[in-house]
Amino acid sequence: MEADRGVGVGVAVEVAVATKVYAGGTDALQATSLTLEAGRTTALVGPSGCGKSTLLRMIAGLEAPTAGRVTLDGEAPEVLQRRGELAVAFQDPSLLPWRSVAQNIELALDLARLPRNDDRVAELIALVGLDGFATATPAELSGGMRQRAAIARALVTAPRLLLLDEPFGAVDELTRHELARELPALWEGGGTTTLLVTHSVAEAVRLADRVIVLSPRPGRVIADIPITLTRPRGAESAEAAALERTVRDALEAGRAGTAAGQNAG
């Protein structure tokens, strides 16, 4: 399937009535169904502990649903994972401590059995603002810099499915804004399907084509809000502010237990 790589073919993600009850009995996710359209960016928001990371890990094939099914282009997540066409960036970036920034990014190419590409590695290092740190080891970086290296590592293979779990958590406000401005062009240019878990409503509205709101635990989809803003998205606009309000209202309704709920029942 080498020929399919990096030619702008995003994956369609289907989560069908997925439920997750952890071994200890924690009800993390309740009968959740959603479809992520190929090549689109979807943000997932919801109160702390509502099951956002659980859902992302299920889509990545790192967690099996207790009931229901997750398919990527109709296949099990492991199929895409084996082909190296899926990338995940977590809030806690697990970089190999003995490898430099550039070597950590290159490793993703090796694991996906893709050829080394020094130019692309250098381009991504510059894009995430780590110019001059290509040969630094993770211990020599701040937490935010490590996160940015992990984002570059996730992007280097031009994955067909990109799963980002709070990847900007430790990044300072200014860099966060810069990344939010620069990154979408990278993943959209490749036709990548992207899922972004975030606590920032502003970031969700700025980056996504659609924002999905989960209820408090056990999470279920209570709102699915299309983000109709044109791209590129720059300065704050009245339209963006109105969309942020819509998302916040849905979160509030979920918290109060008054949301209508697309997936209720």
Ligand X SMILES: Nc1ncnc2c1ncn2[C@@H]1O[C@H](COP(=O)(O)OP(=O)(O)OP(=O)(O)O)[C@@H](O)[C@H]1O
Q: Residues interacting with ligand X, by CB under 6 A? A: 22, 24, 26, 28, 46, 48-54, 217
Nearer to ligand X, 101 or 211 (CB): 211
Specify the residue, 101 or 171, whose C-beta has the smaller distance to ligand X: 171
Q: How far is the CB of 225 from ligand X (least distance, A)?
A: 18
C-alpha–C-alpha distance, residues 59 and 81, integer Å: 10
Q: How far is the CB of 220 from ligand X (least distance, A)?
A: 12
Least distance in Å: CB of 156 to ligand X?
A: 25
Question: Measured from the CB atom, is 52 or 153 closer to ligand X?
Answer: 52
Q: Least distance (Å) from ligand X to the CB of residue 165?
A: 7
The nearer residue to ligand X, 44 or 141, going by C-beta atoms, is 44
Q: Supply the minimum distance, in Å, between the C-beta of residue 59 and ligand X.
A: 12
> What gap in Å lies between CA 94 and CA 96, rounded to an integer?
7
Tell me how far, at minimum, the Cβ of 22 lies from ligand X, in Å: 3
Q: Which of 50/183 has CB closer to ligand X?
A: 50
Q: In what order do the strands lie in the sheet with 86-89?
A: 86-89, 161-165, 193-197, 41-45, 210-214, 221-226
Nearer to ligand X (CB atom), residue 160 or residue 217:
217
